[in-house]
Amino acid sequence: NTMNNALSIVMYHYVRPIAGSRYPHLCGLELSSFEGQLDYLLKHYNPVSAADVVRAHRGEFALPENPVLVTFDDGYTDHYNFVMPSLLRRGMTGVFFPPSCSVEERIILDVHKIHFIVASVEDSKILVKSIDEAIEDARNEFDLELLAEYRSKFLLPNRFDTAEMNYVKPVLQIGLPEALRGRIASQFFHKYVSKDESSFADELYVSTTDLGHMLEKGMEIGSHGHAHNWLNSLSIESQAQDIDRSLEMLTKIGVSKENFYFCYPYGGYNEDTLDILSSRGCAAAFTTRVGLAHPYMDNNLLELPRLDTNDLPRSVDAEKSQWTHAVKHSSRLLMNNKI
């Protein structure tokens, strides 16, 4: 019964027709696979909204058996053009987390520049070599580690990427000094992707008008911070400023700052972040920690775990028992702790 009441929160990013597109190597979810995954969820689970989860936590609502909530990070036009129509056709809703600097200022985040750089260069070894050369060129300008140290830290595979691809992302996201990694990301973006950042941003990110339409259609919009920073790397004052700027955008599009939803960029947060969100009246906040959520038992909803789309089957024909290791591992932990 406990497992039937556990809440599955699924995390999505890019959802689009990828094969045959300008960026066929983009690391995202093919639209057809997304459609199959939604049908799978409808067959075995009961969709709920973030508002339902909050009400259940407060004892005002009973979640259905096998509840599932779908969430979408980063404010891509994918979510307006493809995701929302797919959800509406199935009578579902989703929670969307756009970073306000990209929506309002049309700034392409470095992390997204990196995604399209990687998608545009088939041989990631070329990028590894180029990054190493850029590091050596900047050695007199910045306090940098030896190449061997960067390689030992980051040239490692993870469950989604090869060692070379996984080297590119963290080195340009956290490994190098901020000014240097931003400079390299922009140089590579202009070389391999586009020199017209303004037009690219318009293609990539939703607008405030789009977000207003999504609200009208019953979608839920939350905050993903302003500049998509690793919040746990900022001072408490800088965190508060970043979060408050993002809340200003929510107010502009018609979302109340009371009982708002938040998603931690990169999953990065600390006790300061939790204190700030609590003081602003955040109703629920979503992490990148893998696992199932238990809204009835959590003291608060500010550290909700999620599942990646890659942890789910992509066909309506898949059996419920075919959840992958992420869910099974979470289930074992719950059983062992007798929750």
224-236: average pLDDT: 96
Secondary-structure percent of the chain, ordered helix, strand, coil, rounded to 5:
50, 15, 35
Residue 305, classed as helix, strand or coil, is: strand
pLDDT at 258: 87
The predicted pLDDT at position 328 comes to 52
- 248/255 Cα distance (integer angstroms): 9
Region 190-216: mean pLDDT is 97
What is the number of H-type helices and E-type strands within the chain? Answer: 16, 10
Note the pLDDT of residue 333: 41
Two tokens at 65?
């058996």
- Convert the pLDDT of each residue in 125-184 to its tens digit: 999 999 999 999 999 999 999 999 999 999 998 777 788 888 998 899 889 999 999 999
State what percent of residues in the chain have pLDDT above 90: 82
Predicted local confidence at residue 298, as pLDDT = 78
**H or E element in which residue 139 lies:** none
Mean pLDDT of the chain: 91
For residue 335, pLDDT over 60 is answered with: no
Contacts of 153 (CB under 8 A, 6+ apart): 170, 175
pTM: 0.91
How much is the pLDDT for 181? 94
* pLDDT value, residue 270: 98
- pLDDT per residue as tens digits for the range 2-47: 445 799 999 999 999 999 999 999 999 999 999 999 999 999 999 9
275-328 per-position pLDDT tens digit: 999 999 999 999 999 999 999 887 899 999 999 999 898 888 888 854 544 455
